[in-house]
Chain A
Amino acid sequence: MRKFAVLFLYLLTGPYIVSASDEFFDAQVAPILVKHCIECHNANDFKGKLNLQSVAGFLKGGELSPAFNKDIPLESFLLERVLSDEMPPEHPLSTAEKETLTTWIKGGANWGTTPINIFQYSSPDRAGYDWWSLNPLQHPQPPAATAGRVSNAIDLFVLNQVHQANLTQAPRAERALLIRRAFIDLTGIPPSSEQVSTFLNNDAPDSYEQLIDQLLANPHYGERWARHWLDVIRFGESQGFERDKLRPHSWRFRDWVIDAFNQDLSYNEFARLQLAGDLIAGDTTSGRIATGFLGAGTWDEVGFSQRSPVFKRVVRQDQLEDLTAAISQSFLGLTVNCARCHDHKFDPITQKEYYQFTAAMASVYHGQMFFTDQISDSERAENNRQKEVYMHRHRIAQDRIAKVKDEYRTRLAAEGKPTDDDALNAALPDIVTKHWEFEAKQLLDLANRWGDFSVYAIGPKKPDETFVLIRGNPEQRGEAVKAGGIASVAAGSADFQLENNAPDHIRRARFADWITVNNPLFARTIVNRIWHYHFGTGIVDTPNDFGFNGGQPSHPELLDWLASELVTNNYSLKHIQRLILTSETYRQSSRGRPAAENIDADNRLLWRYPPKRMSAETLRDSVLMLSGQLNTEIHGPGYYDFTTFVANSQFYDVFDPIGETFNRRTIYRTVIRSGRSRFLDVFDCPDPSAKAPRRATTTTPLQSLSLMNYSFSIRAAEHYATKLKLRYPDNTTAQLKHLFKEAFCREITVDELTLATEVYHDAGLVGVCRAVINTNEFIYIR
């Protein structure tokens, strides 16, 4: 394939001189020129007026002198500069390279392909076609076992490098820590104390494997892993920009992602549906909903409605750049978006190829998609049933308020005070007027959203013609461009053989195929993401960039082995996760060892399991769970933790609502771009407009203030205390024992019991619970 591409280019780019030694030039000389010379001496940027990219430039020479002396080749200026180490500046050529150039010049400096393709080879400044990640998947054999516990091939690859670095595998983690680790990694919440006990009492030799299978089948698995994907694709439920209008129906896409993970939808299908579900599965609801991916980003409503057509075109190009970034980084780990104004500075991606991507997406506009016609009878029945459930809850909530109001009215009347609405509202406690009322209203809204068969997704339009835009300027059109891929990726042909005006359903579907079929980057990026979420750092530690500026893989063979496993197992993500979680590498203790830290402080070689802080969402969900407040319902329209009104723009006043409706997993929080939660924000929940392939983990005093003092935290401590007291009435010791077992998955020590009892006396059980949810032991997964 690659050879074909080169030949193709060859034919396109002539004129060229073919001489007897052109093969020598192409194979040996051109790589040296690309790696060391052409970065500064090319057709666009010819320092010293010398262009070494083409034979014409070479023969013409630079401003100081001709480069080549055909009468006395060995006195050629180029050779002189190179042999004296004056060029390339500061990075002289190796002896072998100098010899090759000497041989070439001496033999008459016969030229091969011209102009030389600057993308052909990687150089110290940029990646070429030979860049590791662009090439076909290898199918490496795992190394032979040496010392250490081995569960599957992952351990063989990892141990091989651990031993080479004179490190040793860590012992297995305690079983109680292991179940906590696996629970949080796979479901986003810790195990209950009963689940811990069951596991610890299970003596079956495969009890751990059983646990992993159970967790992969646990419906909360999809919630945890959907959140990761939504991070990557910068999913938000409002428009962003000035108006920031609410998108009340984006939740159906979020649920689709949850279900896709739960059902282990093969990853290639997962991707294809998000890119073109409306085209390839348009008759089903889920096909349409899946394109919520294309509508996950921001939308500049004001920009698109302004009067100036010139500025509207800029807005459209900005939006296509954002979309191209999301698609190419999410699915391929390529930053195609960097080639909007010029060829990519670091990766072999041409500006034209950038516009091939935008041509493939030329029909993509955002919109609310209705699927009333597509919905099946059973789906309709289920949605209507849910609507009724919420209507029923709404009525209960209203009755509850009415009942309290009646009580207050009666009491006020008995006291001879006025009983009009104002007087009543003034007398009622906050919890009723603020929280109960809000919850009742919210339940009605949720019911209505269940009953509305639409989703915020693609609202396709007839594609505009696409051109290369000179320096990215919509007013300066270059050549017309057809939908296509990136030639340097060893995938299907980047030329889709389309007409310029090919209809949307053909170009977008072809594009989805090019991304998902036999594309090595497609498989590599996703297995790397999975690895990243389990071990805190990917094999490539820049999950959205496998290009020149990205990281080098710490375990290149393992990466390809995992990617091959994925492809040969029908792109099953759960298969990869089962391998990872049952590996001995994953089961290692997380305890630090100074000697090992001296060798590999970052633990890139995985001589232990890396401790991780809970994510913002996991922290909130876990605190809700421990305190007995977590509402574990799955699916449905997201709750609002804000009041909102529209006055030209839409405004959001974020607060801390109280009630079961809001105590759901955080993934069901409606994500507003201008209405961020300060509790989640301080724990590094990313800006929903920014693609977040990895989250930062910062440590700040504001975090401590939030977890100590925020109304949510205090309420949780209070609920937790109440729960424990109900379970073990009048038995302080039993309450404290249970608390430690649940929060830390271990028994309380004698000393701890003594101190906690003291604190219980001074600060109440609430004070003890408050301390516990703030501890490192609770907040870290180890």
Chain B
Amino acid sequence: MSFTQSAFRNRRDFLKSIQYGLGATAATALMLDDHILANDAQTRPGILSTTHHNAKAKRVIQIVLTGGFSQVDSFDYKPELPRLHGKTLNEGLGREEKPDVFFGKVGRIRQSDFKFSQHGDSGLWISALFPYLATVADELTIINSMFAETSNHTPATFQESTGFRLNGFPVIGSWASYGLGSETRDLPSYVVFPDTRSLPAGGSINWTNGFLPAQHQGVVMRSSGVAIDDLALPPGISKLQESSTRKLLNRLNENLNVRQGEDNELTARVKSYELAARMQRVVPEITDLERETKATHELYGVGNGDANDFARSCLLTRRLLENGVRFVQLFSGGAFQSPRVNWDGHEDCKKNHLREAGRIDQPITGLIKDLRQRGMLDDTVILFTSEFGRTPFAESAADTVGPGRDHNQNGFSVWVAGGAFKGGATYGRTDPVGYAAVDNRVHWNDFHATILYALGIDHKRLTYYHNGIQRRLTNVSGQVIKDILS
């Protein structure tokens, strides 16, 4: 029996074992095995040998705005708001509504702090908060009818990324890695760029593999300084010393094979050292942004003040995608600390949002344009999400229009671009003041189902057995929003 056959048999057993709810422990190592043993394969297959249906999109960029960004100040144009400014919410809605807001302060309706205008051939309404993004309006598909189950940051963020309000579930990036595998042997399949100012609340929980195998956890990368931890040779160890140590290591591993008999898991470990060595060669090249032209740097906003950090991350994102990374997650905003470093504009929403948008507007736009001009946007999906939105009324005393806005789970906006999405389109609608989604309401489960669909995955069939349940990203619901797909 040849080795490849043996691996194949084990892999089949593995798939069967998943199907019958048996464990995946040893078998996950075999997944790695398979691609190593197939000499020329440049990929690491996921659990799905083929996608469930044909799909253009192969990879994902998710831009996560932490803290909750204001829909009525950005993508949800409400022409009635100037007229209703200073009125009560009930007056605005024309009905009784007792909003249940996080901090319990319901002030008067506050009009958008940013002027809206129409952009692109599609005439999409985008506010002056995002002047750069407005130039790629025709690429964006805006969903204005999102709603969340909670207006508490952390459970809402968990739901945004895992579909569940509780800790302990895998995030969408881990699911994508698990389902589709990796198109590279030299890089992790799921890469995360935290905001350079601070990690998001919960830190690594935001890129956790939950109960999926550890290889699907997000790997933190930095676009300045050390790109990946432990990648470089430790100080004081020369190349000669390294190769000498590796020679001994390899020999000892070979000797064990003789003693123990051939073993897939042991072989996989040997190969993982070869992969690591290759990463050590490849990653410094990929992360070397100086290889890019000045024009490209300018397009993203590298070196442009507050936009620099995010610009570097966006540019590196493109380079990672070119090299086969499956899922890149970029955080705009860190944890909840003082002073604020995220979108949680309780005190002064305009000031807060101007600062935060200034960091990301040009870089994201540069990324979209760059992907488009390189022909990569068609097989890349870009997600621009936030755990919830903000209230169209002020967070202030009942008869005043203060400058801050509270959390709003009832209606908010996200957008998607690239892949199989229509572009230059909007979907869903909130009420006239932008408080609650009323038409074509979209739950995170629906959103996730749609993203998986765009990747060729039936969300009901990408599952992992855990403690009694075939778990999936969309829990027990999720409707694909066909209307936003082209």
Contact = CB atoms under 8 A, between A and B. Distances in A.
Interface stretch (A134-142, A389-397, A695-703): A695-703
A709 B283 CA distance: 16
B168 A690 contact: yes
Contacts of A770: 245
A303 B17 CA distance: 39
B295 interface: no
A698 B6 CA distance: 19
Nearest to A307: B104
B249 A771 contact: yes
A306 B209 CA distance: 29
Contact of A701 (B204, B237, B272): B272
Nearest to B262: A592
Given A549-B470, A649-B335, A690-B168, A311 B151 contact: yes
Nearest to B270: A776
Given A300-B155, A594-B1, A698 B244 contact: no
Interface in A410-465: none
Interface stretch (B51-59, B74-82, B210-218, B312-320): B210-218
Interface in A617-665: 647-649, 651-652
A676 B203 contact: yes
B101 to A, nearest CB: 7
Contact of B337 (A244, A651, A691, A749): A651
B272 A703 contact: yes
B41 to A, nearest CB: 16
Nearest to B33: A699
A651 B245 contact: no
A771 B188 CA distance: 24
B219 interface: yes
Contacts of A147: none
Nearest to A325: B467
A590 interface: yes
Given A300-B154, A690-B210, A322 B166 contact: yes
Contact of A674 (B6, B202, B337): B202
Interface string A672-683: 011110100111
Contact of B152 (A242, A702, A714, A772): A242
Contacts of A684: 213-214
B205 A777 contact: no
A601 B230 contact: no
Contacts of B442: none
Interface residues of A, number: 106
Contacts of A648: 336-338
Contacts of A302: 152-154
Contacts of B247: 755, 759
A241 interface: yes
B260 A782 contact: yes
A549 B202 contact: no
B251 A701 contact: no
B168 A689 contact: yes
Interface in B240-254: 240-242, 244-249, 251-253
Contact of A591 (B260, B265, B269): B260
B275 interface: yes
Contacts of B398: none
Contacts of A714: 234, 237
B468 interface: yes
B216 to A, nearest CB: 9
Contacts of B168: 234, 687, 689-691
Contact of A763 (B228, B231, B244, B469): B244
A161 interface: no
For chain B, the bracket of interface size reads 35 or more
A602 B14 CA distance: 10
Contacts of B259: 591
Interface string B108-143: 000000000000000000000000000000000000
A356 interface: no
A241 B230 contact: no
Interface in A739-766: 749, 752, 755-756, 758-759, 762-764
B196 interface: no
A768 interface: yes
B246 A771 contact: yes
Contacts of A705: 228-231, 276, 279-280
B351 interface: no
Contact of B245 (A315, A683, A767): A767
Interface string A518-549: 00000000000000000011000110110101
Interface in B183-221: 188, 198-199, 201-205, 208-215, 217, 219
A463 to B, nearest CB: 22
Interface string A334-348: 110010000000110
A329 interface: yes
A329 B467 contact: yes
A545 B29 contact: no
Nearest to B254: A776
B229 A678 contact: yes
A694 interface: yes
Interface stretch (B19-27, B359-367, B371-379): B19-27
B205 A673 contact: yes
B261 interface: yes
A698 B214 contact: yes
A775 interface: yes
Interface in A310-334: 310-311, 314-315, 318, 321-322, 325, 329, 334
A697 B335 contact: no
B273 to A, nearest CB: 5
Contacts of A711: 234
A649 B205 contact: no
A217 B251 CA distance: 38
Contacts of A244: 201-202
Contacts of B25: 536-537, 694-697
A700 B214 contact: yes
Given A673-B167, A689-B168, A711-B234, A697 B467 contact: no
A768 B469 CA distance: 46
Contacts of A314: 149-150
Contact of B253 (A541, A547, A649, A775): A775
A592 B213 CA distance: 25
B21 A549 contact: yes
B32 interface: yes
B310 to A, nearest CB: 21
A695 B17 CA distance: 16
Contacts of B280: 705
A649 B336 contact: yes
B473 to A, nearest CB: 15
Contacts of B230: 702, 705-706, 708-710
A611 interface: yes
A593 interface: yes
Most chain B beta carbons < 10 A, residue from A303, A329, A700, A763: A700
A466 B7 CA distance: 53
Given A240-B167, A704-B272, A310 B335 contact: no
Interface of B: 1, 6, 9-10, 13, 17, 20-26, 28-29, 32, 100-104, 149-155, 165-169, 188, 198-199, 201-205, 208-215, 217, 219, 228-234, 237, 240-242, 244-249, 251-253, 255-256, 259-263, 265-266, 268-270, 272-273, 275-276, 279-280, 335-338, 465, 467-470
Given A683-B214, A694-B25, 16 more contacts: A242-B336, A244-B202, A298-B166, A303-B152, A308-B102, A551-B20, A592-B262, A648-B337, A676-B204, A695-B25, A701-B272, A702-B230, A705-B231, A758-B244, A762-B240, A776-B253
Nearest 5 A-B pairs (CB), nearest first?
A335-B468, A689-B167, A307-B104, A690-B168, A545-B468
27 contacts: A240-B167, A241-B154, A242-B336, A244-B202, A300-B154, A303-B152, A308-B100, A308-B101, A318-B165, A549-B470, A550-B468, A601-B9, A602-B17, A647-B338, A649-B201, A689-B166, A689-B168, A698-B214, A700-B214, A704-B273, A705-B229, A709-B232, A710-B230, A756-B248, A763-B237, A763-B245, A776-B270
